[in-house]
Amino acid sequence: MRTPEGTNGRVPGAEEGPRGAAARLTGTSVRGVRRLSGAVAEADLDDGRSVMVKRGDAPGAVRAEAAGLRWLAEADAVAVPAVHGHDETWLVTDRIPTAAPTAAAATRLGRDLAALHTAGAPAFGAPPADGPRDAYIGLAPMRNTPGTDWPTWYADHRVLPYLRTAVDQGTLGHSEAAVVERLCARLPDLAGPAEPPARLHGDLWNGNVLWGSDGNAWLIDPAAHGGHRETDLAMLRLFGCPHLDRVLAAYQEATPLADGWADRIGLHQLFPLLVHTVLFGGAYANQVLTAAREAG
């Protein structure tokens, strides 16, 4: 990784804490800081604002997340925190006050997701305009390589790279990997009608949905790229989401999904399940095999 000139190989902000990063990136002094985890803190600014301060140590991770938030915001569809500043190490965004999820917020989320996806992307795998191709989904590297044919792109750039890593790690055996490879070979017949690239959040599990006290569902921590809209919805189902039936009903009313979408949920869940297998080990391997067998 090339480092900025004049830093003697040090990344700006790398030795700084969240208080200093918040003050520097917002241009406002900080009254107090509350650590939420090793990488995330809340900071209260002297001008009355409260912001989130997040550290990302992987090269390009902060830039990718900031670009993703801006790209989603440009669609003027979903609620996302504003980016107040970032460098290669720190990201400062709005702090979103939260409340219990409601059916009304879930209905609004379904309509908003439909509008986000309709905003589109230049290609499958296209990164945000100012975002890096080498991005991340959670802690896993995710390369955004554009393609025009979704089944081929999904197999080559989402499923198979993580499958190979899982095999190299010993988490999946060669015979188990063959089940997924056979499914990939059949993707053109299983993917449903061709659709244009959608503008995806890209990591839309329930933990990345904040139910705001303002009545909106706010989306955080994107792995934004151009993809198939069913992927976001399948990921939202994967680990459960409050009032998911309301989300899907509102989505269907706004932009109906192609016939057979429910049969393709496992197909679209393969990617996040393989990411989890690579990051967290064999507990997810059986889910990968189940999804592949049911999808095929």
pTM comes to 0.93
Cα–Cα distance for residue pair 22/58, rounded to 1 Å = 19
pLDDT exceeding 90 applies to what percent of the chain? 92
Return the structure tokens found at 91.
């990201």
In the predicted structure, residue 2 carries a pLDDT above the cut 90: no
Regarding whether 139 and 25 lie in a shared domain, the answer is: no
Domain of 132: which CATH number? Answer: 3.90.1200.10
Regarding whether 262 and 154 lie in a shared domain, the answer is: yes
Cα–Cα distance for residue pair 80/222, rounded to 1 Å = 10
Cα–Cα distance for residue pair 29/270, rounded to 1 Å = 45
Position 148: which residue type? Answer: T
Residue range(s) defining the domain that contains residue 194:
97-296
Mean pLDDT across the stretch 153-177? 97
Helix, strand, coil percentages, rounded to 5, for the chain: 45, 20, 35
Mean pLDDT across the stretch 185-190? 97
Give the end of a domain, one of 95, 110, 125.
95
Cα–Cα distance for residue pair 148/278, rounded to 1 Å = 27
> What is the full DSSP assignment across 11-49?
PTTTT--HHHHHHHHHTS-EEEEEE-SSSEEEEEETTS-
Give the end of a domain, one of 78, 95, 112.
95
Q: Catalytic residue among 203, 214, 221, 259, which?
A: 203
Return the structure tokens found at 79.
């609620």
**How does pLDDT run across 50-82, given as a tens digit for each residue?**
999 999 989 999 999 999 999 999 999 999 999
Other beta carbons within 10 angstroms of residue 129's beta carbon come to 10
Residue 3 confidence class, pLDDT cut points 50, 70, 90: very low
Domain of 90: which CATH number? Answer: 3.30.200.20
Task: Could you list the beta-strand ranges (E) of 36-139.
Answer: 40-45, 50-55, 83-86, 90-94, 134-137
Regarding whether 76 and 108 lie in a shared domain, the answer is: no
Residue 14 confidence class, pLDDT cut points 50, 70, 90: low
Regarding whether 128 and 177 lie in a shared domain, the answer is: yes
SS3 state of residue 75:
coil
**What are φ and ψ of residue 83, in 5° steps?**
-90, 120
In the predicted structure, residue 255 carries a pLDDT above the cut 50: yes
Regarding whether 210 and 84 lie in a shared domain, the answer is: no
Regarding whether 257 and 174 lie in a shared domain, the answer is: yes
pLDDT at 13: 53
Window from 7-16, 171-180, 270-279 with minimum mean pLDDT: 7-16
Position 208: which residue type? Answer: N
pLDDT exceeding 70 applies to what percent of the chain? 95
Give the end of a domain, one of 95, 124, 148.
95
Regarding whether 273 and 131 lie in a shared domain, the answer is: yes
In the predicted structure, residue 201 carries a pLDDT above the cut 90: yes
Residue 143 confidence class, pLDDT cut points 50, 70, 90: very high
pLDDT at 16: 85
48 CA to centre of own chain: 30
Which residue, 64, 107, 116, 109, is CA-closest to 210? 109
Q: Please provide the size of the chain in residues.
A: 296
173 CA to centre of own chain: 28
| Whether 247 contacts 101, CB under 8 Å | no
pLDDT at 8: 39
Cα–Cα distance for residue pair 91/82, rounded to 1 Å = 11
Burial class (CB in 10 A: 0-12, 13-18, 19+), 231: buried
Regarding whether 8 and 78 lie in a shared domain, the answer is: yes
pLDDT at 15: 65
**How does pLDDT run across 76-109, given as a tens digit for each residue?**
999 999 999 999 999 999 999 999 999 999 999 9
Cα–Cα distance for residue pair 125/145, rounded to 1 Å = 5
Regarding whether 250 and 109 lie in a shared domain, the answer is: yes
Regarding whether 214 and 257 lie in a shared domain, the answer is: yes
Regarding whether 246 and 103 lie in a shared domain, the answer is: yes
Q: What's the mean pLDDT when you consider all of the chain?
A: 94
Cα–Cα distance for residue pair 223/233, rounded to 1 Å = 14
| Whether 139 contacts 280, CB under 8 Å | no
**How does pLDDT run across 30-55, given as a tens digit for each residue?**
999 999 998 999 999 999 999 999 99
In the predicted structure, residue 1 carries a pLDDT above the cut 50: no
Looking at the structure of the chain, the number of domains it has is 2
pLDDT at 282: 82
Mean pLDDT across the stretch 239-266? 97
Regarding whether 119 and 70 lie in a shared domain, the answer is: no
pLDDT at 217: 98
Active site residue 203: yes
Mean pLDDT across the stretch 242-269? 98
